[in-house]
Structure 1
Amino acid sequence: MNARQLTFLAGAGSAGLLIAALGFQAAGYAPCELCILQRWPHLAAAVIAALIWLTGRLRAFAVLGMVAAAVALGLAIYHSGVEMAWWPGPAHCSGGVGDIASMSAQDLLTKLQSAPVTRCDEVSWRFVGLSMASWNAICSAGLLAIWTIASMRGLKGINTAK
């Protein structure tokens, strides 16, 4: 595969992950804040791949695709770690409501009522023991590898064209 085809594959992979996430959401699996945050780099990667495909400007965009995939991987690893209690997640989506001892009953009630329904530290779906965030990390690592190979092949083509 040439570099342009690889970028199309990587962009299609990110688009596929977005479609899968929306499919799970349509099936009733409400996303948490970190789940939604993980979608943005995949959207960026799909747009970058489309720009490469439409303009042929591999050199200008391939590194951005790598960055988007790396951000997606980092967010997915972070979310997986929150789910596995390796590190704390954001207090507002991991059950934290602040210092309860210093709150009035009304403040506590207000905080609890405004708390999001879907928690970032609870897994709502697993396949082969891995959560959606963990699968996203695995897929994002693969997409990062594809973007990296595409970038290297694109640079090799530039260097040999001189």
Structure 2
Amino acid sequence: MKETGLNQQMVALLVLLGMVAVILTVLGFEHIGGYTPCKLCLGQREPYYAAIPVAVLALVAGFFKWPACVIRGLLAIAGILMVYAMLLGVQHAGIEWGWWEGTGDCGGGGTVSDAGNLLDSLGTVKPPSCDEAAGRFLGLSFAGWNVIVSLVLAVIAFKGAFGNAERSSGKA
């Protein structure tokens, strides 16, 4: 059985910080930037919401020197969840680029500021479409960036789950 060392603890921390940064960023774009997420955008967050507690447990497991299989297993689970987030991003980006059809029920939650006017607003609030990117940065939509970030986080998590216990010091 492989040992668990400083490398796994650092990986757990790095993956946790990366996932929290992603969620804080998308929530910032939503609540501060005014970008209303569509159904697929919201779905891409779910693996992060599941993986963050897993990464916290991996960090706790490393801190308290739990058995190696525990922290490595938790890192592997976090990696699998990030692969799932990546696949959801690929699906959404493909829909945005017109590579394949989206779901027929795709729309987001348009916001209504006055509950008293809820019925009146039903005809005027247009939910965002899943096949139109809200914006692009360096040629990629939010879904496209999610593919890249999720892939990076998955690789880091898997490296921690299946890599060496200690960092190499560079000495032979």
TM interval, shorter chain, is 0.7 to 0.9
In the alignment, structure 1 residue 132 sits paired with structure 2 residue 142: yes
Deviation at 1:67, TM superposition (A): 1.0
In the alignment, structure 1 residue 147 sits paired with structure 2 residue 157: yes
**Aligned match for 2:81, one of 57, 68, 73:** 68
**Aligned match for 1:9, one of 9, 14, 32:** 14
1:35 is aligned to 41
1:62-107, CA deviations, whole angstroms, 9 ceiling, x for partnerless residues? 221111111011000110001001011111117xxxxxxxxxxxxx
The size of the alignment, in residue pairs, is: 138
Q: TM-score, normalised by structure 2?
A: 0.74
The residue type paired with residue 44 of structure 2 is Q
**RMSD, matched Cα:** 2.0
CA distance, structure 2, for counterparts of residue 75 and residue 87 of structure 1: 13
Structure 2: 5+ residue stretches without partners: 1-5, 63-69, 108-121, 166-172
CA distance, structure 1, for counterparts of residue 132 and residue 23 of structure 2: 21
In the alignment, structure 1 residue 86 sits paired with structure 2 residue 92: no
Q: TM-score, normalised by structure 1?
A: 0.78
Give the 4+ runs in structure 1 shifted more than 3 A: none
The residue type paired with residue 48 of structure 1 is V
Structure 1: 5+ residue stretches without partners: 95-111, 158-162
Deviation at 1:8, TM superposition (A): 1.5
CA spacing shift, 1:88–1:116, aligned 2, 3 Å: farther
CA distance, structure 2, for counterparts of residue 92 and residue 86 of structure 1: 18
Deviation at 1:118, TM superposition (A): 0.9
